[in-house]
């Protein structure tokens, strides 16, 4: 494969490069836009779809005649035209091995909001010690957490909060009950979860069934003062306006987002000016250990495909028989 290459849409860790270069040199595209990627397709046998800014479109797949595998470093693969890749017999690799970091990130974001960490840090550093008498911080204990989506990440979050004296509600119409071993969750319908939960955390993949799942109606169904957390995919929320409306009306107590409908988001949006909005630039799951596991898994599976072997994690396993 000396005359062939693997192209990444954005920089990737050395661990992935070292593994991938066992079969072909790795080239990082200067941009993730379609026009740039189209100039890098000659002799490209693998594409790493890093980040959410660019997409591996039908046109890219169609024009990359030497393409044999697409890799996604993470659990989400909505940036890849999986349907067309499948039609072309191209395996799409993903790496659902870093979910623990997303679950930890969701809990950290929730706790930072409830315990008012940003505010307490600010008043301390500004020398306003006496303001400590003006407010109390909140609690997880004695409250209800609603988890939408009980796959690897949602189930992990439920497990993380088991030592808190909380009620945990869960909603997932596609539930794999094996993922809930040793976890106490009361399964309810989505409307009941929204109405009863003090905190709502979303952990579903982005699909035709979940896009816009959280819309104006569902925001209105939430318990007054509820805290809404989304560390899944931005498109699960209809738009930022409904979250801003919820905060401005006082119906939502706070909003914490690590993901946005469009990334990077427009930070001039009024949501970003609200003191009860807290966010991160889609990195709460990008921990050192998680990324090491993700890159190792993805790169190893891409190499397996390129060497005619079976990968461990494949979005469209039905095409695997065509590469053996």
Q: What is the pLDDT of residues 15-38, one digit of tens each?
A: 999 999 999 999 999 999 999 999
Would you identify the CATH topology of the domain 5-97+288-322?
A: Rossmann fold (3.40.50)
Active site residue 83: no
Q: For residues 106 and 124, what is the distance between their CA atoms, to the nearest angstrom?
A: 25
Would you identify the CATH topology of the domain 99-279?
A: Rossmann fold (3.40.50)
In the set 263, 269, 270, 292, the catalytic residue is 263
Compute the half-sphere exposure of residue 175: CA atoms within 13 Å on the CB side of its CA: 18
pTM exceeds 0.85, yes or no: yes
Q: For residues 310 and 157, what is the distance between their CA atoms, to the nearest angstrom?
A: 31
Written as six digits, the tokens of 59 are 């046109």
| pLDDT at res. 174 | 84
In the set 50, 156, 203, 233, the catalytic residue is 233
Residue ranges of the chain that CATH labels 3.40.50.720: 5-97+288-322, 99-279
| pLDDT at res. 177 | 63
| pLDDT at res. 51 | 77
Active site residue 233: yes
| pLDDT at res. 78 | 87
Helix (H, G, I), strand (E, B) or coil at 144: strand
The per-residue DSSP string of 178-239 comes to GGGTT---EE--HHHHHHH-SEEEE----STTTTT-B-HHHHHHSPTTEEEEE-S-GGGBS-
In the set 50, 203, 282, 296, the catalytic residue is 282
Active site residue 269: no
Written as six digits, the tokens of 127 are 């020398």
| pLDDT at res. 176 | 66
- Mean pLDDT of successive 10-residue stretches along the chain, which has 324 residues: 86 96 96 93 96 86 97 90 96 96 98 97 96 95 97 94 95 77 87 98 93 97 98 97 98 98 95 98 94 97 96 95 61
Cβ-contact 109, 229 below 8 angstroms: yes
């Amino acid at each position: 494969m000396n005359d062939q290459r693997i192209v990444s849409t954005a920089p990737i860790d050395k661990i992935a490069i070292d593994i991938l270069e066992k079969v072909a040199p790795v080239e990082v595209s200067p941009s993730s836009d379609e026009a740039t990627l189209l100039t890098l397709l000659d002799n490209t046998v693998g594409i790493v779809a890093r980040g959410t800014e660019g997409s591996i479109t039908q046109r890219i797949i169609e024009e990359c005649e030497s393409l044999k595998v697409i890799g996604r470093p993470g659990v989400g693969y909505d940036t890849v035209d999986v349907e067309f890749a499948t039609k072309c017999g191209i395996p799409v690799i993903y790496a659902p091995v870093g979910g623990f970091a997303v679950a930890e990130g969701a809990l950290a974001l929730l706790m930072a909001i409830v315990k008012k960490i940003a505010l307490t840090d600010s008043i301390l550093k500004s020398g306003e010690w006496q303001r400590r008498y003006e407010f109390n911080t909140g609690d997880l204990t004695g409250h209800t957490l609603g988890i939408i989506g009980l796959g690897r990440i949602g189930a992990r979050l439920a497990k993380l909060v088991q030592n808190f004296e909380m009620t945990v509600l869960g909603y997932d119409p596609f539930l794999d009950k094996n993922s809930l071993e040793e976890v106490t969750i009361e399964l309810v319908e989505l409307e009941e979860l929204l109405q009863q939960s003090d905190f709502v955390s979303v952990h579903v993949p982005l699909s035709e069934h979940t896009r816009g799942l959280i819309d104006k109606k569902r925001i209105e169904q939430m318990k007054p003062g509820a805290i809404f957390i989304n560390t899944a995919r931005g498109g699960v929320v209809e738009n930022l306006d409904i979250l801003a409306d919820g905060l401005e009306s006082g119906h939502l107590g706070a909003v914490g987002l690590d993901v946005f409908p469009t990334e990077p988001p427009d930070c001039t949006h009024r949501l970003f000016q609200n003191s009860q909005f807290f966010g991160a630039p889609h990195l709460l799951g990008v921990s050192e250990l998680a990324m090491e596991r993700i890159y190792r898994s993805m790169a190893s599976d891409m190499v397996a495909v390129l060497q005619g072997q079976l990968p461990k994690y494949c979005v469209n396993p039905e095409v695997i028989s065509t590469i053996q």
